[in-house]
């Protein structure tokens, strides 16, 4: 009798406590999903805010966003491709011999770099996915050839011209492209050494438990290529249920 009564009491107590305990476990799992999603969105938003103006692009399916982060920036002086010749704006790299030289008019951080970078002047279109620029082209982005030191930009180019002059004489330097993609239930991040690269085989996982069928990236470039708006929708699914986070990032697209 005692054993039977004890069993009945235990069953009653268990049924009463099971729902609060399950609710506590579900809340804990939802909190964990919220933290993971928030960290992922904050990292993505921080990267987007550091993108070269007008370099953001989103795949038609909305599952991938790509851009070129700024490594350094400053203001330039119109250069002289020919010694003692007139200064040209936009700058041109058409000197008969020696490196192409462009003076830097403002402080730049870092102050020097020996690694080669793309030099970007008055870009008005997406950069990632386009063919790599070459010497002999006319483009807002140079071949990946520029280094800088002592207030001077230099590159071994002899037949390259920038397409447009910047009214404020602004330039940007970059050495990689970045892409985020939702694939196989995870949001992954990859860095590319070339603008046209798209290999995510070595991508790092930013957050898993992602419902890629519902997560979306959208991009509105804005009027006159100014003040673009990126909308990030991230849906995470776990044992505690489904969590949807939405964040918008304003992009300064003034080139």
Q: What angle is formed at CA 165 by the lines to CA 159 and CA 169, rounded to 5 degrees?
A: 115
55, 122 contact by CB (below 8 A)? no
Count the Cβ atoms, other than its own, within 10 Å of residue 172: 26
* Residue 19 belongs to some domain of the structure: no
* Residue 18 belongs to some domain of the structure: no
Integer CA distances (angstroms), 210 to 39, 66, 233, in order: 13, 19, 11
Residues 54 and 102 occupy one common structural domain: no
Bridge partner list, 171? 74
108, 148 contact by CB (below 8 A)? yes
Residues 63 and 98 occupy one common structural domain: no
Pairing of strands 216-220, 228-238: antiparallel
Residues 93 and 119 occupy one common structural domain: yes
Residues 99 and 168 occupy one common structural domain: yes
Bridge partner list, 74? 171
Whole-number pLDDT of residue 5: 63
Residues 125 and 142 occupy one common structural domain: yes
Task: Please compute the mean of the pLDDT values over residues 210-222 and round it to a whole number.
Answer: 89
* Residue 167 belongs to some domain of the structure: yes
Residues 158 and 181 occupy one common structural domain: no
Of 59, 86, 30, nearest to 200 by C-alpha is: 59
Give the position of tokens 């940007």.
Answer: 172
Count of domains for the chain: 2
Residue 178 makes CB contacts below 8 A (sequence gap 6+) with 47, 66, 67, 68, 69, 189, 190, 191, 192
104-121 confidence digits (pLDDT tens): 999 999 999 999 999 999
Task: Please compute the mean of the pLDDT values over residues 21-30 and round it to a whole number.
Answer: 54
Domain boundary among the residues 124, 140, 175 is at 175
Give the position of tokens 């002086």.
Answer: 77
* Residue 78 belongs to some domain of the structure: yes
* Residue 161 belongs to some domain of the structure: yes
49-88 confidence digits (pLDDT tens): 999 999 999 999 999 999 999 999 999 999 888 777 888 8
* Residue 11 belongs to some domain of the structure: no
Task: Please compute the mean of the pLDDT values over residues 92-100 and round it to a whole number.
Answer: 86
| % of the chain at pLDDT higher than 70 | 86
Task: Please compute the mean of the pLDDT values over residues 2-22 and round it to a whole number.
Answer: 58
Residue 4 has pLDDT above 80, yes or no: no
Q: Is this model's pTM higher than 0.75 or not?
A: yes
Residues 121 and 196 occupy one common structural domain: no
| C-alpha–C-alpha distance, residues 55 and 51, integer Å | 7
Domain of 135 in residue numbering reads as 70-175
Residues 110 and 87 occupy one common structural domain: yes
Of 122, 123, 107, nearest to 72 by C-alpha is: 107
């Amino acid at each position: 009798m005692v054993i039977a009564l004890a069993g009945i009491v235990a069953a009653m107590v268990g049924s009463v406590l099971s729902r609060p305990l399950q609710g506590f476990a579900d809340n804990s799992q939802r909190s964990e999903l919220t933290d993971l999603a928030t960290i992922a969105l904050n990292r993505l938003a921080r990267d987007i805010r550091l993108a070269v103006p007008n370099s953001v692009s989103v795949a038609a399916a909305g599952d991938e966003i790509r851009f070129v982060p700024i490594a350094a920036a400053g203001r330039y002086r119109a250069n002289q491709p020919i010694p003692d010749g007139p200064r040209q704006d936009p700058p041109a790299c058409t000197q008969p011999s020696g490196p192409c030289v462009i003076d830097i008019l403002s402080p730049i951080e870092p102050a020097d770099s020996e690694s080669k970078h793309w030099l970007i002047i008055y870009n008005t279109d997406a950069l990632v996915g386009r063919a790599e620029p070459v010497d002999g082209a006319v483009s807002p982005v140079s071949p990946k050839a520029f280094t800088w030191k002592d207030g001077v930009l230099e590159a071994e180019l002899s037949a390259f011209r920038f397409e447009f002059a910047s009214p404020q004489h602004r330039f940007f330097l970059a050495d990689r492209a970045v892409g985020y993609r939702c694939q196989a239930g995870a949001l992954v991040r990859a860095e590319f050494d070339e603008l046209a690269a798209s290999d995510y085989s070595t991508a790092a996982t930013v957050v898993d438990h992602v419902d890629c069928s519902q997560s979306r990236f959208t991009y509105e470039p804005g009027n006159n290529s100014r003040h673009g708006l990126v909308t990030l929708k991230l849906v995470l699914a776990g044992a505690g249920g489904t969590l949807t986070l939405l964040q918008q990032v304003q992009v300064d697209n003034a080139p």
